[in-house]
Amino acid sequence: MSESKNDLTIDEVPILKDVASITSRAKYQSPLSFHPDHRDRMFGGIIAPYHLHGEKIKCGIQSCRTPHWHGYLISTSDDKETNIGKDCGKNHFKADFSAEMKRHDALYERRLKLNRILDLKKDAPALLSQLISLQDHYDHLKSMRFKFRGCLSSAESNRLATKVKSADPTIYEYQARTKEERDAYLETNPAARKSGTVPPKEIPIGEIKGFTFLAATYKDEEIFNYINPLRQLIRANKNQITSWKQGQINETHVWIGKSKTLIPAMEYIIAQGVAFFTDENLGKLLAIGVSAESIEHVAMELKSPIALIRSKLKIT
């Protein structure tokens, strides 16, 4: 769509928010007949699309009268106005209607997106500072994760990676079974009877917190790509935004929508990171085969980073 050649501008198209805003217009009449039912009344043009909520409006074409929520206010060749649905428009007025419908739908969509963008602009400075502080916290935690990994031997790293991959944060204690328990196990697991091997009892004794943070990757950092577009939005004034190219409007609109889910997701990852890096939680790594020496090393290396992130997040 070439925008410069589009003679429609947002300010010229009325906003039809409810039935009254349509039926109260000076030239509005319903129902009306059109050619060939009416000798010489033809389609004039589309004035504006509407998308109602609640009360429906009847189609203004005499032979139709179907109630609907979504349609178009149109003008007629004899200077009247009425409202019609999309199907009636296409059936009665063919290509004249369809071409106008496309332009109006595109403009309607643009206005909807622009309004959401202008709406967001009000909150943009607060959103920006939220993103910047999230990024700061996340970067801090990432550097802690880097140091942490540096304290583990490669065998310990592998054990941890396997545990994280299992997505089961539970830690277990293993106990040998009594004779009765062995018999009961073999009874319910016929496959084990041949070999006679009975695994020890697995008793949950706790949980390692923060796996989501350990598993986080660059993909989880998408939200930070919106810091610069957000700065652009803050710098631009209303007129500049209204004249943005459709591509920029679409992109901005998309990340506004995404920020609603990506921000809470990042907040969760950060909370997981903070929960992982506590002395108590790190101590649980013993249960998956990280040595006491390594854990001590980690605790020493991360003592002040842990204190710093907790004070940044005002966690006592």
**Which positions lie near Zn ion, rule CB under 5 A?**
59, 61, 64, 85, 88
At closest approach, how far in Å is the CB of 21 from Zn ion?
Answer: 19
Residue 264: asked if its preceding bond is cis (omega within 30°), the reply is no
Q: Closer to Zn ion at the Cβ: 85 or 273?
A: 85
CB of 24 to Zn ion, least distance (A): 21
Q: Are 77 and 42 in contact (CB under 8 A)?
A: yes
Q: Provide CB contacts within 8 A for 114, sequence distance 6+.
A: 10, 241, 242, 249
Q: Name the minimum Å distance from CB 91 to Zn ion.
A: 8
The one-letter code for the residue type at 129 is S
Nearer to Zn ion, 64 or 271 (CB): 64
Residue written as token pair 């004035």: 47
Q: How far is the CB of 92 from Zn ion (least distance, A)?
A: 8
Based on CB atoms, which residue is closest to Zn ion, 76 or 294?
76
| 61 vs 256 by CB, closer to Zn ion | 61
State the pairing for strand pair 81-84/170-175: unpaired
Q: Between 50 and 277, whose beta carbon lies closer to Zn ion? A: 50
The angle formed by the CA atoms of residues 275, 145 and 283, to the nearest 5 degrees, is 50
- 88 vs 134 by CB, closer to Zn ion: 88
Least spacing, CB of residue 90 vs Zn ion, in Å: 10
The least distance separating Zn ion from the CB of residue 106, rounded to whole angstroms, comes to 23
Could you tell me what percentage of the chain is helix, strand and coil, using 3-state DSSP and rounding each to the nearest 5? Answer: 60, 15, 25
Give per-residue burial for 262-295: e unless 16+ CB within 10 Å, then b.
bbeebeebbbbbbbbbbeebbbbbeeeebeeebb
Buried b (16+ CB within 10 A) or exposed e, 139-161: ebbeebbeebeebbeeebbebbe
